[in-house]
Structures are given as structure tokens and as C-alpha cells.
Amino acid sequence: MIKNWKLYLQKPAFRNEFALTCLAFFVAGSQNIHFIAEFEKRQGTRLNDFVLHLLTPTDFSTPIFLITYSTVLIVLLELLASPPKLTKGLQMFALLSFFRTLSIFLVPLEAPADIIFLNDPFANILLHQPDLQVVKDLFFSGHTATIALMYFLAQKKWAKIYCGIALIVSPTLILWQHVHYTIDIIAAIPAAYFCYRFVNWLHLQRNLRWQPQSAL
């Protein structure tokens, strides 16, 4: 891993791309946190979700937290060995954060009436507002989208299987806790897939454009 990073950091083009990627990742995450806190002040629409009616609200905050961030840790450790893949992964996550902020803005929703607040220590730290309980960041589910993106990015078979199981279990627990509506969960997966495919497509187009004419 260290050898790979030394090799790629010697290339000015990669250094510039990685620096810009980290900046975009930071900006996208920061604006997401800022606007989500602001969106709590808006009035939204409360949906009548028949799936939630079938589930008695139960607090699964701890398993949801452990499942979500374990997938992130597993895939991050995989991607660290490949600087280009890590760079693309950060670009995908930044794009996903931007789209999630936009979708929450465009689809203002009220939290389910019997929601049990999802206690996410990382999110609470990033908000810098200990007394603020964010419950209106609904369409689409950030935890589900994150796990879905980790599934698409996972390299090894066992990691792909783990993320696939997590993509079933975590959204189920999120619904059971009444943190999100069913549509929030469903929309999160294609959103993550779009970001994954779009960034890969951009890199493919760039590589084709830079390919020597003699090799075409």
C-alpha cells in the first residue's frame, strides 16, 4: 500500500486530482451537514406508509451504527491499497452527498409520527449541535445509500457478500425504527448506483480521450 501511494504521489496529475477530490469531499460533506440542520426548520409532508404500520417502532440505533460503519471501514481498507480506486470512491461519495442534499431540499418531508431518533455518534459530532435531533433528512436514506455505495465499491467476494447482507439488514432495521419511509430506502440504492456509474463513466471518457491515437 505504501509503495503504491509513493508511486502515485510522484505523478503531478494524480496529486492534483487527489487534492481536488479531497476538497470536493470536504465541501460536499460540509454543505450536507449545514443544510440538513437548516431543513429541520421547514414544514414538510407526513406520508402514510403502510409498511411502517406493520412494524412496531423499536430502537436499533446501535446495530444500525455498527453495520453501517463496519461496511465503510471494510471497503476503505480495501481501497487504501489502490490510490486511483480510493480517489474514485471519494468522488462518488461527494457526489452522493450533494445529491442527497438536493433531494432533501426538493422533497420536504415530516418524520414518521412514531419515529425513534436514530442515535448516530459520528453524525452528532459533525453537526456541532448536541441539542439538535435531525429527523427530517428523509428522502433519501443516507445510511442505506452509504451501504449501497460500499457494496458497489467492494472488491473482494467476502466483502461484497458482507455489504450485500448489510444492505438488507440495515434498511430493515431503519424501517423498523421508523427513521425513514419505505420510499426513502428504495430511492437510496439507485442514487448510490448512479453516482458509482457516473464517476466510472467520467473516468472512462477521460482515459479514452487521453489514449494515444496510435492505440485507437
pLDDT value of position 133:
82
Residue-wise pLDDT for 27-83, tens only, equals 998 888 889 888 998 999 999 999 999 999 999 999 999 999 999 999 999 999 999
**For residues 26 and 123, which has the higher predicted lDDT (pLDDT)?**
26
Distance of alpha carbon 67 from alpha carbon 65, whole angstroms: 6
Distance of alpha carbon 146 from alpha carbon 141, whole angstroms: 9
Nearest to 199 by CA among 100, 91, 102, 94: 91
Residue-wise pLDDT for 199-216, tens only, equals 999 999 888 877 654 444
Residue-wise pLDDT for 168-196, tens only, equals 999 999 999 999 999 999 999 999 999 99
pLDDT value of position 208:
80
Assign 45 to helix, strand or coil: strand
Instruction: Over range 93-102, report the average pLDDT.
Output: 96
Instruction: Over range 163-169, report the average pLDDT.
Output: 98
Grid cell 451501504 — which residue? 147
pLDDT value of position 1:
80
pLDDT value of position 102:
95
Measured in Å, how far apart are the chain's first and last C-alpha atoms? 32
Distance of alpha carbon 195 from alpha carbon 177, whole angstroms: 27
Residue pair 109/39 in contact by the 8 Å Cβ criterion: no
**For residues 155 and 206, which has the higher predicted lDDT (pLDDT)?**
155
pLDDT value of position 215:
44
